[in-house]
Structure 1
Amino acid sequence: MGIEQGLISFLMMNMDIIYLLDLAGTAVFAISGVQVAGQMRMDPFGATVLAAVTAIGGGTIRDAILDVGPAFWVHDPVYLTVIILTSMLTILFANRNHRMPPILLPLADAAGLALFTVLGTQKALAYGAPGMTAVVMGVITGVAGGIIRDLLASRVPMVLQKDIYATASVLGGVVYTGALLIGITEGWAMLFAMTGVFVLRMAAVHWHLRLPMFVLKHHRE
């Protein structure tokens, strides 16, 4: 059985689990969107908009590129419901406690990155995309929403800075596809990949790990 057929069989047998994971990723990315909105002193509507683009922006772009029809959330309002409820609860929690724990944003962001990277890669493979393309789709799913969020908040997107962020997403996609190629079962492949993304991202946050910067030297006549 090929990887594509194996993935389809796995998805059919574990549809409820995959769906719940997708909703969980939507919620944690929505939290990170509200967190950024709070830092920029936006109103609740602005916070909900940032939550929405962060949570479903990457998946929407992925589905458009893969040409799989309307984006996943168009015919399933549960995603929008999760975003709205998560935004309201996060805002209420922040108002009641005056401030959120500083670690909450990186934790939520890392968890969402790990989940969406693997789920995006998985969906691309299930639709017959080659491994390298699937990795790119996973990265788009994981980071594109955050890019849109940061642009709307007038910030330099995190993925374009020296922090290890997109690199962690690439690692997750490579680990996931590589694990499937060598015969590791789908569930373990997902676990290894998500753990790799989350651990690398949080290690980068904790120890301030950076990629080397590219700086052009001034040309001298």
Structure 2
Amino acid sequence: MTWDILTVIGTIAFAISGAVVAMEEDYDVFGVYILGMITAFGGGAIRNLLIGVPVSALWEQGAFFQIALLSITATILFPHNLLKHWPVWGNFFDAIGLSAFAVQGALYAVGMNHPLSAVIVAAVLTGSGGGLVRDLLAGRKPALLHDEIYGVWAALAGLLIGLKAAVSATELIILFIAITALRIVSYKLNWKLPKRALH
């Protein structure tokens, strides 16, 4: 039940973020729905392809699809009401989604007895793959790759789960809280990884 609630929060946050980017780029209504849905479920779809989970497993998440559609619809109908506070609570919910999805993705890979590298990749793609696809489709430079410390926290979750440092339900909840907190702190303090430019 706890993971379902966290997944719902993450789905709402990612769906709204996709819809917001689409509206900023002047997409039509259909485009807003498509980008919102891709942001919410794109990471899980890519993960499934890479670790061998049937892609059809996505269609079993009917309730989450409905939640994402309702979130996007609310964003379209009441953009100013919802987006007025988005910079404050949007990043908080996004951190919850990143952490919950990263843990979920890592557990998927561990459950299929994949090696550590696959567990880390599954965590990163599930936690931040949707945002990566969103930015690419919107013609933006993906934030995952250049702007903020984002995917690193998902990779850390995958590493710890892959190394069996977090196995029990209590340990996974602690890991989830820690990853969420790290993401929020890195955003608030504007932490960035070092860059190596050629110019």
Taking structure 2 as the reference length, the TM-score comes to 0.87
Q: Offset at 1:141?
A: 0.8
Aligned equivalents of 2:6 and 2:82: distance in 1?
A: 28
Distance 1:31 1:97 in 2: 9
Q: Distance in 2 between matches of 1:163 and 1:80?
A: 28
**Residues in 1 aligned to 2:134 and 2:83: alpha-carbon distance in whole angstroms:** 23
Identity of aligned pairs, percent?
A: 30
Aligned equivalent of 2:178 = 196
1:53-202 alignment, distance < 5 Å: 53-96=38-81, 99-178=84-163, 181-182=164-165, 185-202=167-184
Question: Aligned AA for 1:124?
Answer: A
CA RMSD of aligned residues (A): 2.2
- Does structure 2 conserve the Cα–Cα contact (< 8 Å) formed by 1:94 and 1:100? no
- Structure 1 gap segments, 5+ residues each: 1-15
1:206 to 188, 196, 199: 188
Question: Who wins on radius of gyration, i.e. which is larger?
Answer: 1
Query: Where do 5+ consecutive residues of structure 2 fail to align?
Result: none
1:97-126 per-position Cα deviation (integer Å, ceiling 9, x unaligned): 673432233223222111110000011111
- Superposed CA deviations along residues 177-220 of structure 1, whole A, max 9, x for unmatched, are 34xx25x5521222222222222221121111111101236xxx
The residue number in structure 1 matching 2:29 is 44
Q: Residues 176 and 189 of structure 1 are in contact (CA less than 8 Å); yes or no, is this contact kept in structure 2? A: no
The answer to which of 98-107 and 57-66 deviates more is 98-107
Q: How far, CA to CA, are the matches of 2:3 and 2:196 in structure 1?
A: 39
What one-letter code is carried by the residue in structure 2 that aligns with 1:140?
A: L
Judge conservation of contact 1:59–1:71 (CA < 8 Å) in 2: no
For the residues of structure 2 that align with 1:71 and 1:108, how far apart are their CA atoms? 27
**Alpha-carbon separation, structure 1, partners of 2:170 and 2:29:** 39
Equivalent residue letter for 1:92? L
What is the CA–CA distance in structure 1 between the aligned matches of 2:83 and 2:109, rounded to whole Å? 41
- Residue among 13, 30, 38 paired with 2:15: 30
Give the helix-richer structure, 1 or 2: 2
User: Distance between the aligned counterparts of 1:36 and 1:100, measured in 2?
Assistant: 16
Q: Number of residues paired by the alignment?
A: 199
Q: Which moved more, 1:127-136 or 1:39-48?
A: 39-48
**SS of the residue 1:163 aligns to:** coil
Structure 1 residue 20: deviation in Å? 4.3
Q: Quick check: 1:163–1:211 contact (8 Å CA) kept in 2? A: yes
8 Å CA contact retained: 2:7, 2:97: no
